[in-house]
Chain A
Amino acid sequence: MAEETKPPAPAAAPPKPAGPPPPPPPKNPGMVTCTIDGKEVVVKPGTNVLEAAKHAGIEIPYYCYHKRLSIAANCRMCLVEMSNSPGGKLQPSCQMPVAEGITIKTDTPKVKDQQRANLEFILLNHPVDCAICDQAGECKLQDFYMKYDGQPSRLDVPKVEKGKRVPLGPLVVLDQERCILCTRCVRFMREVAKAPQLGVAQRGNESFITAFPGQPLDNQYSGNVVDICPVGALTSTDFRFRGRVWFMSAARSVCTGCARGCNTFLDYLSETTYRYRPRENDAVNQEWMCDDGRLSYKYLNAERVLAAREGRGAAGKAVRAVDAAAKAGAILKPLAEQGALAALFSPLASLEDLLAAALVATEGLGRAEVYAGGHPDGWQDDFLKVADENPNRKGLEIVAQAFGLVVRPFSDLVRSIEAGRVRGVWAVGAEAPDPRAAPAFGKLEAFVCQAYNSGGLADEATLLLPAAPHSEMDGTFVSFEGRAQRFELAYWPRGDSRPHWALAGHLGRGLGLTWRWKDAREVFEDLGKRLGSALGDFRWDGLPSIQRRHGLTPLAAGTVDGRLPGYRERVPLDVVDDARRALAKTS
């Protein structure tokens, strides 16, 4: 009733100023439609212009933007013309969400001028470093300079000098002069690693990235800042000055540091693995990996067993690997018949290795149980790293189940050896959870050991067979979640080494088995059937299509002789051995 008593609004009230026109109804309900360089693009609401353009196949250059990090919009490289921008100002495409009906232009003279000018500013204080910079060859400064700038320098004053080699932590060295202050590393440490150990200090052209005084960048995920650094400011202490990236090829691989199975690129040159880089897989590791995993490649290079050896210690003599493997069958057979033989499988071996080994253990040697070796458990966190530091324990369990083998712990095997119940061991992989157990293996009558590296159990073998690790074979690891993931051969097995499955095949033939496999794929096709549905919808050829990258001199149109592009004839081992040892020492 009170409302009725209110005086009526004056009839001559001034008309309301015309507000903004109502937004047009969306062209595609539930989606946002815009036009980028004349192409109509339909994206989800909230998508930024940069991603929308990428979706339409239009490249917008950027340094600071990273799709898994918050948006800083500080590199100013991605500015574009947008029809709804006030005063026609250029807008950072990484930060601006697409609005309905707008027109975006990425290749107008205004945008090109801004890109050129921006690059000139970015390069103003950049040192003349390409020749000594590890990033050269995969550097966004080089790429964008050639694509969007191409102008000579106009600088006639000295460049600002800053810290040239600032060790931020055990794995990361910072060159503050090369830094373009995109703050990707700062944001990564804060948002992904959840350890804000990096920050920007000072102002203007004196600013630099730094860790806090007395607090090194020691987070277990610090290595990722090297990967996301678009320039050569952050380099890895492990990879610094060891090789030039344009000579290296990259194979699609899986990290063997723990059971997570982070997808990696394995960068190699000739027969040496130089580094792991994370490979994108949203379901597993997004595009990160931990530092321990990153450094876990070293066993592929150093202290490798490259020739078969018969006899222990000083009595050992070199033999041909293939002969030795066939001979091993004859050594193991009588012990197996007496029930004094044990099979030790390592969860570092691939699924194909374990399938072949399980076949030989059951059908050739009549075993009903198998002991699991492998690395001891390590640290874990709630992000990527799991405690089990073996990439394929799940695979071992699946295979054992398929072949009706009981998996028993390594400690049982040591006890049995010490009690004298086991007098012979066939080890597929020499990794042992307990390094103190090695002397017990010295008591064995027969110890046939297929090993990647010397030391530990391998030194106690009566017959040592050189095994090729995952960099030298195609194969599969099953992660702790049961996800089977393929990795591919980077280079052919070094020296006399062969993959476990091949050695097991030779050993099996010594026992009268008739299986013959040409490659890991045949092993999987023959024996993978026995796994039933344990691997879900895994396909052996299902490696994601991110292209394998080849070194500097690929054959442009594929191969004419069936060899891999970039393939080099193998240099005899004794020639490169010294160099390789020297290389291993630099790590």
Chain B
Amino acid sequence: MDAERKQAAPVTAQEPRAPDDLDAPFPAKRMLVNLGPSHPAMHGTTRAVVELDGETIAAMKLDIGFLHRGFEKSCESVTWNQCFPYTDRLNYVSAIMNNVGFALAVEKLCKIDVPDRAKYLRVVGSEMHRMCDHFTLVGALGLELGAMTVLLYAMEARDLLWDRLTELCGARLTSSYCRIGGVARDLPEGWSEKTARTLDRCAVLRDEIDALLTRNRIFVDRTRDVGVVNREDALDLGFTGPCLRASGEPYDVRKSAPYLVYDRVEFDVPVGAHGDNFDRYLMRIEEMRQSERILRQCLAQMEPGDIAIRDFRYVLPPKPQVYGTIEGLMAHFKIIMEGIKVPAGEAYSYTEAANGELGFYVVSDGGGRPYKLGIRAPGWPMVAGLPHMVVGSLLADLIPTFDTINMIGGEVEQ
């Protein structure tokens, strides 16, 4: 059969076509297709080299590194608090969750317990950013499968959330909201009520999207049984977060090792069954519902109080004390010029970010700057597992699969 194909393969325009040309087997030469790094359909600046057998993906290689910024190394030359802007740029769609993850790791080393209100504020910021992240993913997934409306709905919801976050931390995207020992600022006046209305609107948009996609014939056909990864493979590949849960493993750091106030709020962890694109999509829709539940509970439970610990060794003193007392001035000077002194040692702390387990490993030599910093980016194992998921499927399914694992260049390439 192979020999016949080889003979049949070279067909050129010059040669008169044989009458049975239409019946001739299709040339079996494999084709290499390069996608990215700047391809409109690629998520992030990533390059995929795909070997195609017809329309089927025979092999695939991912080439990352186009967004590498030396995050871990950069952090070694700035003070602990100055690391926060760097963490913003890891998963830039959900910056506060990175801030929280880093802050918790350093606070573990300092043995600091932040005030309750700061914990609630961190959870509020995190869950809003989780919704942003999921809206982005669902909107983009719709867009890739031809559903422009979904993208517009998702963008509207995301921008509403970002408006609230702007009021909270002063930036839409790069929040830098946390500080070692607390958060940067308290809720603006009337923010809770406004946010409740925003959540109402987001719920409407989310349910619209749900209605548009979940029972949509085209959407279901394109996502069902595509990019499948079963539970064992997902565990072996190191998946976490919605992608792991979509494969049937109910692992969520917020439940298995509750941090901040996740043990004080009620929420459910959705778990999928098939590990395909459709389940991963459903995970996101359901997690947005749960995030909304968490947010509403937090806003109701939150009580007035300090937003950061009162310890001059870790948190900048209030400005009247800086300008009015020598103690405050010296503390301010030392924290700004030399950084807070984190006790020597090492700590690993992990949180449930939008894409999975986000871990920070920090090492301190007792000085004002990190001695070493390492990050477990949740997107990384998923990116590594992508070839496993797409080989054998159609080229057209690569991009949606790429979307549902939600690779964020900023965090994968650090």
Q: Contact at B323–A152, with CB atoms within 8 Å? A: no
Q: B65-82: which residues lie under 8 A (CB-CB) from chain A?
A: 76-77
Q: Contact at B321–A130, with CB atoms within 8 Å? A: no
Instruction: Decide yes or no whether B250 CB sits under 8 A from chain A.
Output: no
Instruction: Decide yes or no whether A246 CB sits under 8 A from chain B.
Output: yes
Q: Contact at B326–A129, with CB atoms within 8 Å? A: yes
**Residues of chain A lying within 8 A (CB to CB) of residue B369:** 556
Instruction: Decide yes or no whether A553 CB sits under 8 A from chain B.
Output: yes
Q: Contact at B76–A556, with CB atoms within 8 Å? A: yes
Q: A306-362: which residues lie under 8 A (CB-CB) from chain B?
A: none
Instruction: Decide yes or no whether A552 CB sits under 8 A from chain B.
Output: yes
B327 to A: closest C-beta gap in Å:
5
A556 to B330, CA, bound (A): 24
Determine, out of B36-44, B262-270, B310-318, the stretch whose residues face the partner at the interface: B310-318
Q: A141-184: which residues lie under 8 A (CB-CB) from chain B?
A: 141-142, 145-147, 149-153, 155
A557 to B333, CA, bound (A): 24
Task: Give 1 or 0 for each of A521-556: 1 = CB within 8 Å of chain B CB.
Answer: 000000000000000000000000000000011111
Task: Give 1 or 0 for each of B365-381: 1 = CB within 8 Å of chain A CB.
Answer: 00001010000000000
A153 to B: closest C-beta gap in Å:
4
Instruction: Decide yes or no whether A131 CB sits under 8 A from chain B.
Output: yes
Number of A residues contacting the other chain (C-beta, 8 Å)? 27
Picked from B76, B324, B325, B331, the residue with its CB within 8 Å of the CB of A150 is B331
**Residues of chain B lying within 8 A (CB to CB) of residue A155:** 325
Instruction: Decide yes or no whether A127 CB sits under 8 A from chain B.
Output: yes
Q: Contact at B312–A126, with CB atoms within 8 Å? A: no
Instruction: Decide yes or no whether A489 CB sits under 8 A from chain B.
Output: no
Q: Is the interface of A mostly helix, strand, loop or mixed?
A: loop
Best-buried of A127, A142, A151, A552 by chain B (most CB within 10 Å): A142
Task: Give 1 or 0 for each of B280-323: 1 = CB within 8 Å of chain A CB.
Answer: 00000000000000000000000000000011110001000101
A126 to B328, CA, bound (A): 12
Instruction: Decide yes or no whether B203 CB sits under 8 A from chain A.
Output: no
Q: A549-587: which residues lie under 8 A (CB-CB) from chain B?
A: 552-557
Instruction: Decide yes or no whether A1 CB sits under 8 A from chain B.
Output: no
Q: B334-383: which residues lie under 8 A (CB-CB) from chain A?
A: 334, 337, 341, 369, 371
Best-buried of A146, A147, A155 by chain B (most CB within 10 Å): A146
A141 to B369, CA, bound (A): 21
A123 to B327, CA, bound (A): 8
A136 to B324, CA, bound (A): 17
Picked from B326, B334, B371, the residue with its CB within 8 Å of the CB of A128 is B326
Picked from A129, A142, A555, the residue with its CB within 8 Å of the CB of B77 is A555
Q: Contact at A137–B337, with CB atoms within 8 Å? A: yes
A130 to B330, CA, bound (A): 7
A123 to B321, CA, bound (A): 14
Known: A150-B312, A556-B369. A123 touches B333 (CB 8 A): no
**Residues of chain A lying within 8 A (CB to CB) of residue B317:** 152
**Residues of chain A lying within 8 A (CB to CB) of residue B328:** 152-153
Q: Contact at A142–B333, with CB atoms within 8 Å? A: yes
A151 to B327, CA, bound (A): 7
Q: Contact at B312–A152, with CB atoms within 8 Å? A: yes
A173 to B326, CA, bound (A): 21
**Residues of chain A lying within 8 A (CB to CB) of residue B312:** 146, 150-152
A-B contact list, 18 entries, CB within 8 Å: A123-B326, A123-B327, A130-B333, A137-B337, A142-B334, A145-B327, A145-B334, A146-B313, A146-B331, A146-B341, A150-B311, A151-B312, A151-B327, A152-B321, A152-B328, A153-B325, A155-B325, A246-B337
Closest CB pairs A-B (n = 10): A153-B325, A150-B313, A556-B76, A153-B327, A146-B334, A126-B326, A150-B312, A142-B330, A556-B77, A145-B330
